Amino acid sequence: MNLREYKNIGEQVYSGKLPNGLSVFVVPKRGFNKRYAFFATDYGGADRRFRFAGNWLDTPAGIAHFLEHKMFDMEDGDNALMTLSANGASPNAYTSTDITAYYFECTENFKENLDTLLTFVSTPYFTSESVEKERGIIDQEIRMVEDDPDYAVYYGLMKSLFRHSPIRDSVAGTVESISEITADTLYNCHKVFYNPSNMALCVAGDIDPSEVLETAQRILPAEPGEVPERDYGPPESLEPLKKSVSQAMEVSLPIFLAGCKARQIPARGRENLRYELVSALALEILAGHSSPLYFRLYGDGTVNSDFSASFESVAGEAYSMFGGECRDPARVFDEVNREIVRLSENGPDTELFGRIKKAALGRHIRSLNSFDAICANCVSGYFRGYDAFDVPELLSAITEADVAAFYRESLSPDNMAISIVTPKE
């Protein structure tokens, strides 16, 4: 395996690629008892239309999430979650818009647990009966989450911003869409996306890198697979589909989320990472808890500590969001838009910019003590074509001019949309 040292942050990473196309990363943490393994596929809720073996295929919304639920079933009748837990591990999994990941942490029996993780993720086992049973469970999960105000306000914004992008739709799908999923659908999607060429494994802890590589080579399929081409639909315009949407739910205070699509940004590589770092700094200066806007709105009781801003880049789209609980969403929306105009014209305050930048760098350095953050960021960066350990170098080079350009180019009040959940009368 190749070794890369990051002397500025005191980290090392071993990396290698197996003949089957799997990329393996090992982050040594000498002297730690805890060990962590993160095995993921570059496949999420937005990857519903793709080309494989020369044919374009369409799959139902929620298929990636459904597949994640079913992967823990093993042919011998055991459940991989139970097997890992009984062997001293703490396992879990998740599906997001662009990734599905399976992981565990443990202090003992690491090699056996890694064997189990790689085995069940690479060995699908579905029956019509088990799929039907799982459909009922996910059906209930979907109905429950649709009653969640945070879910409602977020997807209200997504459906307002985007005309046809699959990120408009819940990762879990709908009750109607999951009714189309069969055992054959799951097997086919596993074959396409769970091939080693479309996956990555990252391990952190006091571990011999060669043992990790040997285990992966022994358990996983020997041959590489075809990496599918994805289709997320035609390019979106910057103009939102709807300017505003509102619904009444059982909440004590209004909840709102406003957002704006960004200009086309680099989809992969260091420039993608750099743009995300610039956007994070810009939004923290605009509406973070150290910003003048937040102090003003929090000071008069208009917003509470729930108020925040964030940036997302996924499935070929990028967008900024801000919101939270507040007494007067319309006023906050107007105040934020005025602040965007001011920052676009004048740029950020020099002292505030320096303080926010140092805080961001400090948070990143502290995150290197978190094994799960290390592994998730390493794999996500690999899928996007950049090295997540380059964050400190790129962050240090960002200037006030970079942030001011983000306000001008990617935060236009004219292209804003707002989603509001109001208390029922």
Which active-site residues does the annotation give? Answer: 68
Instruction: Report d(CA 412, CA 314) in Å as an integer.
Output: 20
Residue where the block lists tokens 């990617």: 410
The answer to whether the CB of 210 falls within 8 A of the CB of 34 is no
* Distances 226 to 20, 54, 193, 416 between C-alpha atoms, Å: 11, 11, 9, 40
Separation between Cα atoms, residue 418 and residue 330, nearest integer Å: 9
Token pair belonging to 231:
């289709």
Which residue has 């990028």 as its token pair? 318
Secondary structure string (H, E, C) spanning the chain: CEEEEECCCCEEEEEEECCCCCEEEEEECCCCCCEEEEEEECCCCCCCEEEECCEEEECCCCHHHHHHHHCCECCCCCEHHHHHHHCCCEEEEEECCCCEEEEEEECCCHHHHHHHHHHHHHCCCCCHHHHHHHHHHHHHHHHHHCCCHHHHHHHHHHHHHCCCCHHHCCCCCCHHHHCCCCHHHHHHHHHHHCCHHHEEEEEEECCCHHHHHHHHHHHCCCCCCCCCEECCCCCCCCCCCCCEEEEEECCCCCEEEEEEECCCCCCCCHHHHHHHHHHHHHHHHHHCCCCHHHHHHHHCCCECCCCEEEEEEECCEEEEEEEEEECCHHHHHHHHHHHHHHHHHHCCCHHHHHHHHHHHHHHHHHHCCCHHHHHHHHHHHHHHCCCHHHHHHHHHHCCHHHHHHHHHHHCCHHHCEEEEEEECC
Which residues, listed in sequence order, are joined to residue 255 by a DSSP beta bridge?
325, 421
